[in-house]
Amino acid sequence: MLSRFAENAFWMGRYAERAENLSRLLLMTEIFAGGEDSDKAWRPVLQVFFDEDAYMQRYKTITALNVVKFYLCEANNPNSVYAAVHMLKENARSLRHIISTESWRQISVFFSDVQALSKRRLSLSELSDICSDIRTACFTHRGVIEGTWYRDEVWRFNRLGSALERADQMTRLIDMKYFEYDRDDDENVAPPDVAWWNTLLRSASGFHAFQRKHPVDPDPADAARFLLLDTQLPLSVRGAVRAVAYQLDRLHGDFNVEPDKAIGEALSALEARLETPPERLNGRALHVYLDHLQIEILALANAIGARYFSPSA
């Protein structure tokens, strides 16, 4: 398997997860903004992606519709759904002779649908439908891969990229409301309430499972623990990191592709972090914890890239 193919497959996985999570994040923000154009509701989205400057160059003021456009269909914004699906397609293009035609077809149609969005007027009232369509396309994408791809190294690397991105995106989704600890003193930050967490749980398809596990009086720390550490929730960070470990293990076992020492160390560090969360998963402690997780996920991604994608021949 060419190193380049492994890299393309890995990034296909990452970009598909990214598109899915963006649609989740936009929809959640809109639900909480309740149709309001407030700076307060929409600025955190720009902050969590470090996009305030880029956005301000393009639009003068923060309005719901402009932020939504910026993240849905702005081709020049590398953090947009448009960019994610475009990069998904370009990575798939390099793999077209390996991946199933069904899969390429789905990606082509997905991208042309997203392109169509960028060519027409949008209104906020459609956001829910649009985000739901994007998520459905992402689910279909995953399903077509599951149903049609040959189970070779390319498939493993795709699943690996997808799992890694999923871990990363969940930390960002939660951090959206905890990010303010970076900019302000504890007493000035109002951590999100139960309603916000419930919406997040619903958007991560975890609300009902969470209710079953915590039938009485759950608090935000329970929700955070569930979304980060529950091993049975598909979108949880720990679940995703376990999937990463599994894929690396299979690459070794089935294809004789050994991870190197750097990957092993980065993975162990991340796993250790997930085994030892702070006592109270709330407030500043949660933000700091998310920060550490993000740094360790990035370190693992870098180790994977160095080992597999740029081999020194």
Partner 1 sequence: MKIHDLFENYDHKTDFCELFGPAGGPENESLLKDKLSHFKLRTLNKRNAAAERELRNLGITFTVYSDAGAIDRILPFDPIPRPISAQDWDSLEAGCKQRVTAINLFLADIYSDQKIIKDDIVPADLILGNKNFRKEMVGLNLYANTYTHISGVDLIRDNNGDFLVLEDNCRSPSGVSYVIENRHLMRRSFPDLMEREFIESVSNYGQKLRGKLLETAPPVDNPQAVLLTPGVFNSAYFEHVFLAREMGVSLVEGRDLIVDDDNRVFMKTITGLSPVHVIYRRIDDDFLDPEVFREDSMLGVPGVMRALRAGNVTIANAVGTGVADDKAIYAYMPRIIEYYLNEPAILKNVETYICREPDSLQYVLDHLPELVVKPVGESGGYGIVIGPKAAQSELEEVRALLKKDPSNYIAQPMINLSVCPTLTAKGVAPRHVDLRPFVLTGKDCWVLPGGLTRVAMREGSMIVNSSQGGGSKDTWVMRPEASA
Q: Contact positions toward partner 1, by CB under 8 A?
A: 1-6, 75, 90, 93-94, 96-98, 101, 104-105, 108-109, 112, 153, 255-257, 308, 311, 313
Least separation in angstroms between CB 11 and partner 1: 14
Which residue, 56 or 75, has its beta carbon nearer to partner 1?
Answer: 75
Least separation in angstroms between CB 23 and partner 1: 22
Determine contact, residues 210/226, Cβ cutoff 8 Å: yes
Which residue, 30 or 153, has its beta carbon nearer to partner 1?
Answer: 153
Which residue, 12 or 223, has its beta carbon nearer to partner 1?
Answer: 12
- Residues 139, 140, 142, 143, CA torsion sign: positive
∠257-7-111 over CA atoms, to 5°?
Answer: 140
Least separation in angstroms between CB 92 and partner 1: 9
How far apart, in whole angstroms, are the C-alpha atoms of residue 295 and residue 105?
Answer: 36
Which residue, 6 or 293, has its beta carbon nearer to partner 1?
Answer: 6
DSSP letter, residue 38 = -
DSSP result, 138-155: HHHHHHHHHHHS-SSHHH
Determine contact, residues 36/181, Cβ cutoff 8 Å: no
- Residues 39, 294, 280, 238, CA torsion sign: positive
Neighbours of 294 (CB within 10 A): 15
Which residue, 8 or 162, has its beta carbon nearer to partner 1?
Answer: 8
Neighbour-count burial of 63, counting CB atoms closer than 10 A to its CB (0-12 exposed, 13-18 middle, 19+ buried): middle
Which residue, 126 or 258, has its beta carbon nearer to partner 1?
Answer: 258
DSSP letter, residue 41 = H
How far apart, in whole angstroms, are the C-alpha atoms of residue 162 and residue 11?
Answer: 8
Determine contact, residues 3/307, Cβ cutoff 8 Å: no
Least separation in angstroms between CB 40 and partner 1: 36
Q: How far is CA 85 from the centre of its chain?
A: 13
Least separation in angstroms between CB 69 and partner 1: 19
Least separation in angstroms between CB 273 and partner 1: 27
Least separation in angstroms between CB 9 and partner 1: 11
Cite the DSSP H helix spans in 150-260.
153-175, 194-203, 207-213, 220-229, 237-255
Neighbours of 49 (CB within 10 A): 20
Least separation in angstroms between CB 140 and partner 1: 14
Which residue, 34 or 311, has its beta carbon nearer to partner 1?
Answer: 311
Which residue, 73 or 98, has its beta carbon nearer to partner 1?
Answer: 98
